[in-house]
């Protein structure tokens, strides 16, 4: 990461604004205790492979994490691992997802957790997502969660029935606004929720479980003041953000689908326990669609990261590299829906190649006596885009513009002074590599073959016009790089030397 002092252009740039889901508008970003920033993002449930929608969320917050650090903030980024108590369908009567998977696969629950945590980290590394500062697991914070439930009960917002503790939503809403984040009224929520039946223990139909009584066979259970059980999913984020970032911190993030239930309940729990909405800014990333349809397992149009990389899903024409996918995601603003299609992915692949090629050219182009290009203005526009709610697509468009200029300098059509070239190199690489987190990828065999074939054609043309010096140079340079050319009747082939 680049921790250098901010470039001069930043002193005249507009300040950072963030779209806050709480106020439903862009707001000036003011940390509670600058230069420190507390950031909490809801992490994955490690009972199966991480899906692409989640990857988009974590790539978006990686951009935010990298950028905040670049402009000088010291960020403590907490992203949890949900390894306990996440129920099917987010209701209270389902089966624990992790236990269910464990029974299916004849594994110990923590074996499932370990396997998918390792896989998740691997996928994040492939996408060049920086690890968070702290990655707490729910199962390691049972004591904190029990303590939080006790406090909520003491304040009178929770009640116990037969070993299960429920949050009393209607009572909470008498003093507070339960729908503050979703913008929905309690009456409307009640109307849209099924009525309680005779089997139900809870008092109100919107009440949700903070602690759940474990039935005898339940694989993951812990002792508590209310008997053996396990914590509710919403509670872990409240307890762990509180532990590592305090009662009030700067940014809380997650996918947009978390607004109506998970984040709404998180806020209710923290307010009930500590009289504080835990975060000043709530940031939400939008959904993925495939050919215009919502990505979902039931529609058969949801693919896993490895299916996307290898191109093994029926909807994909071919595989796309992790950097292509990362770049594709950053080319859309995090608050817009992002549509996957072969066409769009292929365009991203070409676009990324163009930006990477320009980065390589930067080290080779020669400065001239005058500049036809205003580098400080480019720099300012890149920062202005990022300061406008992390508008990566606009900043990427600026890099495309710069790439065009780099190419025409290389072609001798435009020129740049040595000082401007240095500044251009710095800003271009800073955004491409450090802020957008893109990396050079190992060329695939297919891509390599394509590149060598181009050189073989050029050599053939040189020989045809009797330019044997160029033809020999191409062959010798390829040999130096480890590739041997074989001339035969059928034309020229190559092998590794």
Query: Which spans of this chain sit near Zn ion (rule: CB under 5 A)?
Result: 42, 237
| Cβ partners under 8 Å of residue 218, min gap 6 | 96, 99, 230
234 annotated as ligand-binding: no
Buried b / exposed e over 116-142, threshold 16 CB at 10 Å, is bbebbeebbebbbbbebeeebbbbebb
Question: Cα 117–119–122 angle (5° rounding)?
Answer: 110
Give the integer Cα–Cα distance in Å for 81 and 46. Answer: 7
Shortest reach from residue 386's CB to Zn ion, in Å: 26
Shortest reach from residue 186's CB to Zn ion, in Å: 22
Instruction: Count the Cβ atoms, other than its own, within 10 Å of residue 264.
Output: 22
Question: Which CB atom, from 113 or from 237, has the smaller least distance to Zn ion?
Answer: 237
218 annotated as ligand-binding: no
Question: Which CB atom, from 50 or from 237, has the smaller least distance to Zn ion?
Answer: 237
Cα Dmax for the chain: 93
Question: Which CB atom, from 158 or from 237, has the smaller least distance to Zn ion?
Answer: 237
Question: Which CB atom, from 42 or from 256, has the smaller least distance to Zn ion?
Answer: 42
Question: Which CB atom, from 210 or from 237, has the smaller least distance to Zn ion?
Answer: 237
Shortest reach from residue 221's CB to Zn ion, in Å: 21
Token pair belonging to 117? 């945590």
* Cβ–Cβ < 8 Å for 162, 201: yes
Helix (H, G, I), strand (E, B) or coil at 11: helix
* Cβ–Cβ < 8 Å for 146, 152: no
Q: In the 8-state DSSP scheme, what is residue 1?
A: -
Question: Which CB atom, from 42 or from 386, has the smaller least distance to Zn ion?
Answer: 42
Shortest reach from residue 73's CB to Zn ion, in Å: 22
Question: Which CB atom, from 42 or from 55, has the smaller least distance to Zn ion?
Answer: 42
Pairing of strands 288-290, 338-340: parallel
Of the candidates 273, 142, 268, the residue with the CA atom closest to the CA atom of residue 214: 142
Query: Rg for the chain (alpha carbons), in Å?
Result: 27
Question: CA of 387: how far to CAs of 14, 26, 64, 147, 437, in Å?
Answer: 7, 11, 10, 39, 17
262 annotated as ligand-binding: yes
Shortest reach from residue 23's CB to Zn ion, in Å: 20
* Cβ–Cβ < 8 Å for 271, 277: yes
Strands (E), 31-163: 36-41, 74-79, 158-161
Token pair belonging to 349? 């692949």
Shortest reach from residue 458's CB to Zn ion, in Å: 56
Question: Which CB atom, from 42 or from 427, has the smaller least distance to Zn ion?
Answer: 42
Shortest reach from residue 262's CB to Zn ion, in Å: 5
Shortest reach from residue 159's CB to Zn ion, in Å: 23
| Binding residue ranges for ATP | 297
| Binding residue ranges for Zn(2+) | 42, 237, 262, 266
| Binding residue ranges | 42, 237, 262, 266, 297
């Amino acid at each position: 990461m680049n921790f250098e002092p901010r470039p001069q252009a930043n002193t005249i740039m507009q300040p950072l604004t963030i779209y806050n889901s709480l106020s439903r508008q862009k707001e000036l970003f003011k940390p509670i205790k600058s230069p420190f920033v507390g950031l909490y993002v809801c992490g994955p449930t490690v009972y199966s492979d991480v899906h692409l929608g989640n990857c988009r969320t974590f790539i978006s917050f990686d951009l935010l994490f990298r950028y905040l650090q670049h402009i000088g903030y010291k960020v403590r980024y907490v992203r949890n691992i949900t390894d306990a108590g996440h129920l099917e369908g987010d209701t209270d009567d389902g089966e624990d997802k992790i236990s269910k998977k464990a029974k299916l696969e004849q594994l110990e629950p923590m074996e499932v957790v370990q396997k998918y945590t390792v896989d998740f980290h691997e996928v994040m590394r492939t996408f060049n997502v920086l690890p968070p500062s702290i990655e707490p697991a729910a199962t390691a914070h049972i004591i904190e969660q029990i303590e939080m439930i006790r406090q909520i009960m003491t304040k009178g917002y929770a009640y116990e029935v037969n070993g299960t503790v429920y949050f009393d939503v209607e009572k909470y809403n008498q003093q507070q606004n339960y729908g503050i984040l979703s913008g929905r009224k309690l009456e409307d929520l009640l109307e849209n929720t099924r009525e309680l039946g005779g089997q139900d223990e809870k008092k109100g139909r919107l009440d949700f479980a903070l602690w759940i009584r474990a039935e005898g066979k339940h694989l993951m259970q812990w002792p508590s003041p209310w008997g053996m059980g396990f914590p509710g999913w919403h509670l872990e984020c409240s307890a762990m953000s509180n532990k590592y970032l305090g009662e009030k911190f700067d940014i809380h993030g997650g996918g947009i689908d978390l607004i109506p239930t998970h984040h709404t309940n998180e806020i209710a729990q923290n307010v009930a326990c500590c009289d504080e909405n835990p975060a000043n800014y709530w940031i939400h990333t939008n959904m993925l669609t495939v050919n215009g349809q919502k990505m979902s397992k039931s529609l058969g149009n949801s693919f896993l990261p490895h299916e996307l990389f290898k191109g093994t899903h029926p909807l994909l024409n071919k595989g796309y590299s992790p950097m292509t996918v990362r770049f594709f995601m950053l080319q859309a603003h995090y608050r817009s829906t992002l549509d996957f299609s072969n066409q769009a992915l292929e365009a991203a692949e070409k676009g990324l190649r163009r930006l990477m090629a320009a980065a390589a050219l930067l080290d080779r182009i020669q400065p001239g006596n005058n500049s036809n290009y205003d580098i400080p203005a480019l720099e300012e526009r890149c920062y202005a885009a990022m300061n406008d709610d992390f508008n990566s697509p606009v900043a990427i468009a600026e890099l495309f513009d710069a790439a065009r200029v780099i190419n025409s300098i290389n072609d001798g059509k435009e020129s740049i002074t040595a000082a401007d070239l240095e500044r251009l190199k710095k800003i271009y690489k800073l955004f491409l590599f450090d802020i957008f987190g893109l990396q050079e990828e190992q060329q695939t065999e297919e891509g390599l073959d394509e590149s060598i074939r181009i050189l073989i054609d050029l050599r053939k043309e040189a020989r045809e016009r009797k330019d044997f010096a160029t033809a020999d140079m191409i062959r010798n340079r390829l040999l130096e790089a480890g590739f041997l050319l074989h001339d035969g009747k059928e034309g020229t082939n190559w092998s590794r030397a």
